[in-house]
Chains A and B, each alone.
Chain A
Amino acid sequence: MTLRDTINRLLGLQRASATTARERLQLVLAHDRSDLNPELLEQMRREILEVVSRYVEIDLDEVDVSLETEDRVTALVANLPIRRAKAVAQPGVKTSLSLGVKAAGLAKAEPADRQKPEAVSGADSQSAGAQAAESQQPGPQEAQADTAGETANLEGSQSLT
């Protein structure tokens, strides 16, 4: 946000069109260069969050997945703020975690077509945490504690032509 944008906003005017142009271009080129269309991106988003949510509780409001381009090399960078570690389900065992605390804001970011887990005591049944807790798949056996505030950072680099 530039100073001019801020002033324009205060005056109730439109933002500078060059800013809009730059942002639109960056987004469309991110798609062009990575050959990822919005549909694939949505699928990738869902899958990344699903996998990571199996291990840690993510603050879905703060999730930020970006394509960073430096000198025509583009990297996928995911910043997934972790709320706290969670005890991972034993294979085949449904574990109920105390997930309700921060779950309220999470529901909206969840794709509607997800399987809904049974309501967990005190939890919003649509929260990512509850979803992962119900997971029947084998996961890591150890629970990690006290990682709240950390960020899961997935980076993959792709050389673009």
Chain B
Amino acid sequence: MTPHRTRNILICSGKGGVGKTTLTANLGIALARQGVRTAVLDADFGLRNLDLLLGLENRIVFTAQEVLAGSCRLEQALVKHKQEPNLALLPAGNPRMLEWLKPEDMQAIVGMLGPNFDVVLIDCPAGIEDGFKNAVSAAQEAIVITTPEVSAVRDADRVIGLLNIHGIKPIQLVLNRVRPKMMANQEMLSVNDVTDILALPLLGLVVEDEQVIVSTNRGEPLTLSGSGSPAAQAYINVARRLRGEDVPLPDPAKMGRGLRAKLGRLMKTKIF
């Protein structure tokens, strides 16, 4: 038997509001349902809302900070999901007292989770400042999530550069809020455009789906109720691919033009 090794996976984007927390919640539930002992760590201390998406907002008493300070035990701070006991939420900290959280603290928190979990998903704050640096210091791999929009892709590129500097590997891509019709009409960057530009392997495609909002309203991630909606299926497939299963991606040619694929990866930009 190989020794137990926990995968600490950072979920980041650079740009805010592209779907990090939604992915973390849905992926966490999906992995748990697939039998993976999963912890979701809310590293977005200032503006935490992973608890809200998971419907666990009323059950938080302690955070990782109290555990680090020795004022409670890890089990007291971990909030177990009732329907999916394989999933637990750990808020990194309390919005009011988080100034002293440092990279070492994040590493210590993840280290504490190690023995009890197979996967730790770290929900990263937007931006590339301290919050990002803290979160990245605790991770070995990363999922970069972006939308097919110029500003989100540009920020993702910046973050990928920083992840490379930190030696994070592998880095995989989730493309969120895809609108197939717009892509077919070439009014949205195609899947190949984004993967070519960012040069990352594609872990998943999530379409724009109203059910995401409905599920957020209820505090019940889409993956909790099975696979009713397109986004739910997409999140479940991300979980399966993350575990190494070979799940084919929706045909990008049907979603976009597929032209870049024929042209290959080489991207040439005339500068003068």
Contact A161 B199 (CB under 8 A): no
Tell whether A151 is near chain B: CB-to-CB under 8 Å: no
In the assembled complex, the CB of B67 is this many whole angstroms from the nearest CB of chain A, namely 34
Contact B265 A2 (CB under 8 A): no
Instruction: Choose from B157, B183, B189, B259 the contact partner of A32 (Cβ within 8 Å).
Output: B157
Contact B270 A24 (CB under 8 A): no
A: interface residue count bin: 20 to 34
Tell whether B102 is near chain A: CB-to-CB under 8 Å: no
Alpha-carbon separation in the docked complex, A160 to B150 (Å): 20
Alpha-carbon separation in the docked complex, A69 to B162 (Å): 18
User: Which of chain B's residues 162-204 have a Cβ closer than 8 Å to chain A?
Assistant: 162, 164-165, 183, 185-190, 193, 197, 199
Tell whether A41 is near chain B: CB-to-CB under 8 Å: yes
User: Which of chain A's residues 77-125 have a Cβ closer than 8 Å to chain B?
Assistant: 77
Tell whether B240 is near chain A: CB-to-CB under 8 Å: no
Contact A71 B265 (CB under 8 A): yes
Instruction: Choose from A22, A65, A68 the contact partner of B193 (Cβ within 8 Å).
Output: A22
Alpha-carbon separation in the docked complex, A69 to B197 (Å): 8
Tell whether B266 is near chain A: CB-to-CB under 8 Å: yes
Tell whether B161 is near chain A: CB-to-CB under 8 Å: yes
Contact B199 A32 (CB under 8 A): no
- Complex contacts, A33 vs chain B, CB 8 Å: 157, 161
Tell whether B5 is near chain A: CB-to-CB under 8 Å: no
> What 1/0 mask marks residues of chain A from 126 to 161 whose CB sits below 8 Å from any chain B CB?
000000000000000000000000000000000011
- Complex contacts, A2 vs chain B, CB 8 Å: 186, 257, 259
Contact B158 A17 (CB under 8 A): no
In the assembled complex, the CB of A41 is this many whole angstroms from the nearest CB of chain B, namely 6
Of A18, A65, A161, most B-chain CB atoms within 10 Å: A18
Tell whether A45 is near chain B: CB-to-CB under 8 Å: yes
Alpha-carbon separation in the docked complex, A49 to B269 (Å): 19
Supplied contacts A22-B189, A66-B270, 13 more A-B pairs, CB within 8 Å? A2-B259, A19-B186, A26-B197, A28-B154, A32-B158, A36-B271, A42-B272, A63-B272, A65-B270, A67-B268, A71-B199, A72-B160, A161-B164
28 A-B contact pairs sorted by A residue (CB < 8 Å): A2-B257, A2-B259, A4-B186, A17-B187, A17-B188, A18-B183, A18-B186, A18-B187, A18-B188, A18-B189, A18-B193, A19-B186, A21-B149, A25-B150, A25-B154, A25-B189, A25-B193, A26-B267, A26-B269, A27-B269, A42-B272, A63-B272, A68-B268, A68-B269, A70-B199, A72-B199, A161-B161, A161-B164
What 10 A-B pairs come out closest when comparing CB atoms? A16-B186, A18-B186, A30-B269, A26-B269, A45-B272, A72-B199, A69-B267, A71-B199, A66-B270, A161-B164
Q: List residues of B whose CB falls within 8 A of some A CB.
A: 149-150, 153-154, 157-158, 160-162, 164-165, 183, 185-190, 193, 197, 199, 257, 259, 265-272
Q: List residues of A whose CB falls within 8 A of some B CB.
A: 2, 4, 16-19, 21-22, 24-30, 32-33, 36, 41-42, 45, 63-72, 77, 160-161
